[in-house]
Amino acid sequence: MTLEIIEIGHPVLREVATDMSLNQLASPEVQEFIDELIDTKRSANGAGIAANQVANTWRIFVVEIANNPRYPYKPEYPLTVMVNPTITFKSDKRFDNYEGCLSIPNLRGVVPRCPEILVEGFGRGGNKTKFEVKGITAGTFQHELDHLDGILFPDRVEDPKTFCTWNEFTARYEDDFKQNVKQIVAEYGS
């Protein structure tokens, strides 16, 4: 079952999500929600989705990139469910990431993202997890964590002149951005 994705202007997108207890996470209600969140992400062709985007304030997000028509230049990444996640930057470097968002249809903009991060939290089964994410995929994880903190990608755009529609991105900027992604993947492996 898919859930309704809320859009910019809905107040839940600006709320800070609340941590979950492991007992709460193990409940059938939360496990069903995670399945629905995954289905919603896949149905919408998102690279990731956070609970806030479906009007829920649980501190959960999902990342998965596989043959994604919205982001054909992104490397594949396996399904990852994060509960109560934190991210630590492992580098002072930043790359320019042309981002979009399921909750902000038809808008793109350049956001500086860290290419090397440490992600910590819990998996859907309540297991403590800690792993590094590098390259363009690190930007996806940062985007989803921002959602859980009530931050939307336009808040992170440093130059508002980079805002554009999807059609304008495709026509004017996508080819250059694909080259940038290739360089990032070559340097960081993902």
What gap in Å lies between CA 3 and CA 147, rounded to an integer?
A: 17
Q: What is the 3-state secondary structure (H, E, C) of 115-183?
A: CEEEEEEECCCCCEEEEEEECHHHHHHHHHHHHHCCCCHHHHCCCHHHCECHHHHHHHHHHHHHHHHHH
Q: Is 109 helix (H, G, I), strand (E, B) or coil?
A: strand
What gap in Å lies between CA 44 and CA 102, rounded to an integer?
A: 8
User: Choosing from 144, 158, 174, 187, which is the catalytic residue?
Assistant: 144
* 144 classed as catalytic: yes
Closest CA to 101 of 88, 116, 113, 111: 111
Residues recognised as catalytic: 144
